[in-house]
Structure 1
Amino acid sequence: MSRYLAPALVASVDDLVIYRVENGQPVATDAPRGFSERFIHSEVYKAYQGVQAVVHSHSLEVVPFSISTTPLQACFHMAGFLGTAVPIWDAASVYKDHPDDNQDMLVKNVKLASALARSLGDGAQGMPKHPVALMRGHGFVATSNSLEMVIFNSVYTAQNARVQRQALSLGTDVQVFTEREAHDTGTTTGQGAVKPWPLWVAEVSKSSLYQNLM
């Protein structure tokens, strides 16, 4: 993972830190400072053997659904993987048993990250039941069995949130997907990350913000 640095600024191997999945600690004893929330990644990998990529996002499109009684639901055909309701993990569910802990909403230890990972639910073939879980007042975590698909899930989670919020702002009932529609659209589009992926790579490659010295 990136060292303690805005991830978009990662440019060389010196900007990366290798961690142990079993405890989220760096392999190298002289590793530079890393992200405090790295435990999100290690605990998801521990809980679901089929997961090969994890994204943690603070998307402002998604956060409102983590603090609202309106659930984030698939209503956009590229986001059928969200299903009929995305689970919301609340750090307070852990704080209540550890009232003396710092309650800064950050997932900075194994006990918080383990509880977050469990909120994804058990699915088939070592994968979580839900590929995405919201984090109250914080953001979301997305998972998949490949780097391409976890980016796909992350991008379209935010886009679905934007579409749903815009529809809600019209002041009418929003027609979200049925369970069958969410399943079938998720299955179809889940085979299609090969289409947008080259575009996303090209956008990054052509942006002066990003450098790749690896």
Structure 2
Amino acid sequence: MQPSDQDLVLQRFHRDLISGSHILHYHNVLDAFGHLSVRHPLNPQIFILSRNTAPGTISSPNDLIEYYIEDARPVDPSAPTGFIERCIHSECYKRYPEVQSVIHSHSEAVVPYSISGVPLRACFHMAGFLGTNVPIWDIADAQQPEDISDLLVRNQHLGSSLAASFSGIASGSISPEHVVALMRGHGFTVLAGSIQDCVMRAIYTQKNAAIQSTALSTRSTGTTVTGPVKYLSQKEVDATTWSIAKSAHRPWTLWLREIEASGLYANSA
């Protein structure tokens, strides 16, 4: 029997989700922890996330689980064990209908900006999407007395609070004002309109953090300081975000070749 057009669409999304997870591992954005998800291409009330395993080891559709966005409940009650933090994904999809992909990372280059009091800001043109300030979400502000204080987003009310931080806690907007939010002492979360854009934003968030750390350390060790670090202006942020989006296919194609050549990853989707 020939696969239907809908089967082919879902197969492509499965393959991209698995490849995206491998790319993020290859670039050290994800290690044994963290996760990438996508909104179901045929049912916007469902999202797809891998089972509870290291992202680099995902290899087939059997490793993927479909969840209802409404409550992060698996569509198949007999599905394998999933990630505790799947409410990060469900609540972002619920709040922002335009969001099609979400990544949660514990990148060691980014975490310092969640705890140091130094704002993470766009430093180079590839990270213009970060804007002139990146929000920091502190789970302690959202926890209820019965919540476990391990910094994990274990339930809907914590996920909802995190999702709100992309628009400002008091905002009721259905479009995020920010596409990256830092999580105090934990990592960061990225939103995008496709798997490819989400992966690119996550990788360049990490690269931007490394560049900013280098710039700040250079200032502290130099003998002469002539002025503050010169970050991208709002005008530059707007222009680079638009122009770089036009070239998103270029890194994705390269990154696919990298993971295919590495010999570490398998993708049967």
Query: Into which bin does the TM-score normalised by the smaller protein fall?
Result: over 0.9
* Deviation at residue 73 of structure 1 after TM alignment: 0.2
In structure 2, the residue matched to 1:89 is: 137
> Is structure 2 residue 261 aligned with structure 1 residue 206?
yes
| Aligned-partner Cα distance in 2 for 1:101–1:151 | 31
Deviations 1:34-65 (A, max 9, x none): 00011111100000000001111111110000
Q: Counterparts in 2 of 1:162-173, with a 5 A limit?
A: 162-170=210-218, 171=220, 172=225, 173=228
In structure 2, the residue matched to 1:20 is: 68
2:166 aligns with one of 120, 136, 155: 120
Q: Which one is further off, 188-197 or 54-63?
A: 188-197
TM-score computed with the length of structure 2 as normaliser = 0.76
Deviations 1:104-142 (A, max 9, x none): 00001000000000000079x953110100000011000
In structure 1, the residue matched to 2:32 is: none
| Aligned-partner Cα distance in 1 for 2:181–2:160 | 13
Aligned residues: CA RMSD? 1.4
The structure 1 segments of at least 4 consecutive aligned residues displaced by more than 3 Å after TM superposition are none
> Is structure 2 residue 108 aligned with structure 1 residue 53?
no
Residue-pair matches, total: 211
Native 8 Å contact 1:51 1:145 kept in 2: yes
Amino acid at match of 1:26: P
Which segments of 5 or more consecutive residues in structure 1 lack a partner in the other structure? Answer: none
Higher relative contact order (CA 8 A, sep 6+): 1
2:87 aligns with one of 39, 58, 62: 39
1:180 aligns with one of 235, 238, 244: 235
In structure 1, the residue matched to 2:145 is: 99
* Deviation at residue 185 of structure 1 after TM alignment: 1.2
In structure 1, the residue matched to 2:247 is: 192
In structure 1, the residue matched to 2:198 is: 150
Amino acid at match of 1:139: G
- Larger-gyration structure (1/2): 2
* Deviation at residue 196 of structure 1 after TM alignment: 0.9
Native 8 Å contact 1:39 1:107 kept in 2: yes
Identity of aligned residues (%): 47
